[in-house]
Chains A and B, each alone.
Chain A
Amino acid sequence: MRSLRSRLAPYWLALPGGMWLAIFFVVPMFFMLSLSLQTGDTLNGYQQTFHWSTYSDVLSGYHVQFVRSIIYAVIVTSLALLISYPMAYWIAFRAGRHKSTFLFLILLPFFVSFVIRTLSWQFILADNGIVMGPLKDLHLLPQDFHVLATSFAVICGLTYNFLPFMVLPLYVSLERIDHRLVEAAHDLYAGRFAAFRRVVLPLSLPGVFAGVLITFVPVASDYVNATILGGTHTTMIGNIVQTLYLTNNDYPAASALSFTLMGALLLGIFAYARALGTEDVMQTAAAR
C-alpha cells in the first residue's frame, strides 16, 4: 500500500501545476497554430482552411519590422554586454564584502514598473525636457533637434531596461572563478591582460552565453520601448503583432506572425546552443 502510494506521489504533486501549464501554455500554442491557418473575419466567423499563404503574406508584409527587430536586438545585446562586463568583473573580483550591496543596486530598477521606467526616459529625453531644454536654451543644440522617435532613443531605452538581465549571469560566472587560477597565471609570467584573456575570459563564457540569450529574446520581441520612445520608423515586430491582435482583430495574420517570431527565435536559440554547448542552456534556465 505504502509503496503504491509513494509511487503515485510524484504524479499527484506534479498534476495541478503541470496541468495548469499544459492547459494555459502548451494547448494555446496549438490554438494559435490553428488560428493562423484559418480564414474569415470577426463578423462572419473563421473557418479552418489551412491557408498557408498567410505566412508568406505576413513575411512579405512585415519583413522590414522583422529585420529591424533583429538588428535592434543585436545592437542592444552587444551594448549591454560591453557595458556590463567590466562592471560584473569589478563586482566579482574587487568589491569584496560589498558584492551583494552592488548587486542590489543593479536590481533597484526592477522595483519600479517597466512601463514607468520607460516613461521616465521619455521625460528625460523629451524635446524640451530636463536634458534637452537647458541645452536648447543655451543654444548648444538647434531648436528642432530631437532624440525621441528615433532609433537611437529606442535602442537607449531597450539597453537600459535589459541591462540587469546581462549583468547577473555575467556576475555569477565571474564570481565562480577560483582566484588561485589567476594567481597561477601571474606566477607563470602572464601579464594582466594575458591572464585575463587566457584564464578569466574563457571561464566566464558560460555567463556571456547565458546573458546574451536572456537579453536577446525579450529585446527582439519587445514593443513597449518602440511605442513610448520611438516613432513610425522604429516599429518593431512586437508592435505589429500587438496591433494585429488587439486593434485590427486580424487574428490569422497576428497568430501567423507571432508563430513565425517564436519559430525564428527558437531556431536561433537552437543554433546558438549547438554552436556553444547545450549544457549552458540549462544553466541559463536555472540562472533566470
Chain B
Amino acid sequence: MKRGRLLGAYTGLVIAYLCLPIFVMILFGFNDTKGRYNFTWQGFTLSWYRHLFDIGGLTDALVNSLTIAVFATILSVVLGTTLGLAIGRYRFRGKAGLDLMLFAQIATPEIVLGASLLSLFISLGVPRGYVTILVAHVMFCIPFVAITVQARVVGLDRSLEEAALDLGATPLVTFRKVTLPLIMPAVLAGGLLSFALSIDDFVTTSFNAGQTSTFPLWVYGASRIGVPPQVNVMGTLIFVVGVGFAVVTAFSNRQTRGGREVGAR
C-alpha cells in the first residue's frame, strides 16, 4: 500500500511538471508588463484581455490558423472517412499499398513531410501561401482520420447495412441512414484530432507558408524580440475552449454509452 501511495505522489509531481508551463502561460497573460519583455511579474492586469486584438499581424495570423484549421478539418474528414471505409471494409487490389502509404506517412518525421512538399512546390514553381499550408495540413490529417475510421469500421456488424439494402434502400440512403451514424464517433474523433493537429502545426507549416503567417509561426517569429502578452491571452483562450470542448465531449459520450458499460460490468 505504501508503495502505491509513493508512486501516486510521484505521478502527481510529474503531472504538476507537465502543467507548469500552462500555468506560466496563463499567469503571464495577466502580467502588467511594460514593453515586450514579459519575463518578470509586475502586477495584475486585465488590460491584455481588453487589448487582445491590438496587434494586427498577430490577429491576422490567428484568423489564418482558425480558418485553415476549419477547412483542413472538413476536407480531411471527408477524404479520410471514405479512405478509412475503403480499407476497413473491403479487400481490393492495392489495399496493401494504401496501408503501407498510411503507415509510412505517419512514421515520416514532420520535417521531411514539410521539406519534401516544399521541394514539390519549388520544382513546379508553385508560390507558397495560404493554399499550400491548407494542402499540407489536409495531407498530414488524412491518415489520422482514416485510421480512426478504419478501426471503427472493422468492428461493425454488416448485417445492419444488408438489412437496409434488402428493405429497398439505395446504397446512398443506406450510407446516410445506417453506416454514417454507426461510424459517427470515429468521424468526430478524427475531426477533433485534425483540428487540433492543424491549429498547432509548426514544422510542416513553416516550410510551406511563404509570407503567410499562422498563430504558431507568428509566435515563433516574435520569440526573438520578446513575445507580447496578447500571445499568452490567446493561448489561454484556445486552451480553455479546447479543454471545455474535450470535457463536454467526454461527458456526453459517457452518458450515451453509460448504460451499456454498466450493464457489461
Q: Chain A interface (Cβ within 8 Å of chain B)?
A: 5, 9-11, 13-14, 16-18, 20-22, 24-29, 31-32, 34-35, 83, 86-87, 89-91, 94-95, 100, 102, 104-106, 108-117, 119-124, 126, 128-130, 133, 160, 163-164, 192, 217-218, 220-224, 227-228, 238, 241-242, 245-246, 251, 254-255, 258-259, 261-262, 265-266, 269, 281-282, 285-286, 288
Contacts and interface: CB of A to CB of B under 8 A. Distances in A.
B24 A224 contact: no
A59 to B, nearest CB: 17
Nearest to A29: B116
A164 B14 CA distance: 11
Given A116-B25, A120-B21, A285-B147, 9 more contacts: A14-B86, A25-B105, A31-B123, A109-B21, A114-B216, A115-B216, A120-B22, A123-B39, A241-B111
B66 interface: no
A239 B142 CA distance: 27
Nearest to A192: B3
A25 B113 contact: yes
Given A119-B219, A126-B39, A86 B7 contact: yes
B10 interface: yes
A104 B101 contact: no
Nearest to B5: A94
Given A20-B138, A24-B120, A86-B7, A221 B24 contact: no
A6 to B, nearest CB: 8
B70 interface: no
Given A14-B86, A115-B216, A285-B107, A91 B11 contact: yes
B83 interface: yes
Contact of A10 (B89, B151, B203): B89
Interface string B124-144: 000000000001101100110
Interface in B96-116: 98, 101-103, 105-113, 115-116
Interface string B188-222: 00000000100110110011000000011001100
B118 interface: yes
A21 B102 contact: yes
A13 B15 CA distance: 42
B235 A123 contact: no
A109 B107 CA distance: 22
Contact of A35 (B107, B123, B146, B202): B123
Contacts of A16: 78-79, 82-83
Contacts of B258: none
B87 interface: yes
A17 B123 contact: no
Given A28-B119, A133-B40, A228 B107 contact: no
A21 B142 CA distance: 8
A117 B236 CA distance: 11
Contacts of B110: 218, 221
Given A17-B79, A130-B41, A228-B223, A114 B19 contact: no
B120 A94 contact: no
23 contacts: A9-B86, A14-B82, A14-B98, A17-B79, A17-B142, A18-B83, A18-B101, A21-B143, A25-B117, A95-B11, A100-B250, A108-B19, A108-B22, A112-B239, A115-B202, A123-B24, A130-B24, A133-B40, A218-B110, A220-B109, A255-B119, A258-B115, A258-B116
Q: Can you list the 10 inter-chain pairs with the closest CB atoms, starting with the nearest?
A: A17-B83, A120-B21, A10-B90, A221-B109, A14-B86, A17-B79, A13-B86, A28-B116, A32-B119, A28-B120
Given A16-B79, A87-B10, A261 B112 contact: yes
